[in-house]
Amino acid sequence: MKRSSRSSALSILFILAIITIGAVLWNMGEPSPIDQSVEQQQTTPGQSNKAAAAFNKSERSLDDPASPWVIVNKQRPLNPADYVPDLVIPSVGLRLPSSNPEMQVGKQAAPALEDMFAAAKKDGIDMIVASAYRSYSLQVSVYGAEVKNNGQQQADRESARPGHSEHQTGLAIDVGVPSRDCEVEQCFADLPAGKWVAANAYKYGFVLHYGKNQESVTGYTYEPWHLRYVGIDLSTEIHSQNNPPLETFFNLGPAANYR
């Protein structure tokens, strides 16, 4: 009887040991509440993560004429009105001799312009600068000629008044082709160069500021040749949002008319 009782007790202890070991092994495969919490944070993005990834629209000034994000339009004149940027002659094809100030561009935009022209050439597209920097005094002449030839109402749809031109910042470049076909005309959009620019300019920090059907916001008719340098970070973000005007992107409201 004693041997039988001892044998039974050992059997019970053996079974309990197996159950205990099984329970331990089972728990090892289950994440703890702390582990579950950490895993949930890692796999489920929270609002804070989305906010951190949001584009910072206040990173650069919209008012400083030296800022690549400066907004110049009919309601936002340059300050000072006779502002002169830091200018250089880009190493690209030019419509006029390099000694002509209109062939200069802002120093911060020049490397991007050169990279873009080089990339276009690799794709079989040759381009030139048709017009870039325009001083306050030059814009007086340009705008005055538009008014004389077309009347002020039409001139205001196609040319900026002095002190209100993006070209004065050195950040706006009108591009064309060596043959000068469709130069500063809407048919430029149909040329291989125009199509290439529309598809690729954003990769180099440029946007088409005066887009199609955006005159009620920008104040200007469609200009597929008019590129505005803003930097790759902003141009990429604008491209991802289907190319809204700068005024819309920065929630500034329409600028179709002068104050």
pLDDT digits (tens, 9 = 90+) for 95-145: 999 999 999 999 999 999 999 999 999 999 999 999 999 999 999 999 999
Asked if residue 60 is part of any domain, the answer here is: yes
The SS3 assignment for 1 reads coil
Q: Is the distance from CB of 42 to CB of 218 less than 8 angstroms?
A: no
Report the length, in residues, of the chain: 259
pLDDT of residue 73: 98
Check which CATH number belongs to the domain holding 221 and give it: 3.30.1380.10
Mark whether 33 and 112 lie in a shared domain.
Answer: no
CA dist 143 and 165 (Å) reads 10
- 81 and 12, same structural domain? no
User: Tens of pLDDT along the chain (259 residues)?
Assistant: 444 455 555 555 555 555 555 554 445 554 444 444 434 444 444 444 444 469 999 999 999 999 999 999 999 999 999 999 999 999 999 999 999 999 999 999 999 999 999 999 999 999 999 999 999 999 999 999 999 999 999 999 999 999 999 999 999 999 999 999 999 999 999 999 999 999 999 999 999 999 999 999 999 999 999 999 999 999 999 999 999 999 999 999 999 999 8
For position 11, what pLDDT does the model report?
56
pLDDT of residue 232: 98
Is residue 156 in a domain? yes
Helix (H, G, I), strand (E, B) or coil at 111: helix
The residues near 189 (Cβ < 8 Å, ≥ 6 apart) are: 195, 198, 222, 224
Same-domain status, 33 and 60: no
pLDDT of amino acid 237? 98
Q: b/e map of 97-135 (b: 16 or more CB within 10 Å)?
A: eeeeebbbbbebbbebbeebbeebeeeebebbbbbbbbb
Helices 110-122 + 192-200 axis angle, to 10: 120
Say if 159 falls within a structural domain: yes
- 189 and 214 in a single domain? The answer is yes
User: Are 231 and 119 in a shared domain?
Assistant: yes
Backbone angles phi, psi at 130, to 5 degrees: -85, -40
**Residue 121 belongs to a domain:** yes
Q: Are residues 218 and 183 in the same domain?
A: yes
CA dist 115 and 112 (Å) reads 5
Identify whether residues 42 and 160 lie together within a single domain: no
Task: Tell me the CB-side half-sphere exposure of residue 172, using CA atoms within 13 A.
Answer: 23
The two structure tokens encoding residue 39: 């895993």
Do 47 and 66 lie in a common domain?
no
3-state secondary structure 41-74: HHHCCCHHHHHHHCCCCCCCCCCCCCCCCCCCEC
Q: Is residue 256 assigned to a domain?
A: no
Asked if 201 and 223 count as a contact pair (C-beta separation under 8 A), the reply is: no
The reply to whether 259 falls in a domain is: no
DSSP E strands, 100-143: 105-106, 128-131
Backbone angles phi, psi at 229, to 5 degrees: -80, 130
* Residue 88 maps to a domain: yes
Domain extent for 159:
55-249
Is 257 inside any structural domain? no
- The domain total for the chain is 2
What pLDDT is attached to residue 20?
Answer: 54
